[in-house]
């Protein structure tokens, strides 16, 4: 069974699309995060949810 950890990013109204894209690219490239959900609010702000797999090691004897 896969387990995920989540991270939520919020971008205010004035943040450009290119700045948002750059931040998401850095999280994906260096932190291995993937896009789970994008919510755009009527006031122009964005809430973006990222997720990544939790890899648990099994102890062997």
Give the pLDDT of residue 4.
Answer: 94
Give the pLDDT of residue 51.
Answer: 96
State yes or no: pLDDT of 5 exceeds 90.
yes
State yes or no: pLDDT of 61 exceeds 80.
no
Return the structure tokens found at 18: 């290119």
Say how far apart CA 39 and CA 61 lie, in whole Å: 46
Say how far apart CA 54 and CA 34 lie, in whole Å: 13
Say how far apart CA 25 and CA 18 lie, in whole Å: 10
pLDDT digits (tens, 9 = 90+) for 15-57: 999 999 999 999 999 999 999 999 999 999 999 999 999 988 8
3-state secondary structure 39-51: EECCCCCEEEEEE
Let me know the angle formed at the C-alpha of 18 by 51 and 9, rounded to the nearest 5 degrees.
30
State yes or no: pLDDT of 58 exceeds 90.
no
């Amino acid at each position: 069974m896969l387990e995920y950890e989540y991270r939520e990013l919020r971008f205010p109204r004035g943040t450009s699309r290119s700045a948002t894209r750059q931040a998401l690219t850095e999280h994906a490239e260096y932190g291995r995060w993937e896009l789970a959900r994008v919510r755009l609010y009527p006031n122009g702000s964005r809430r973006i949810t990222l997720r990544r797999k939790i890899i648990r090691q099994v102890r062997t004897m």
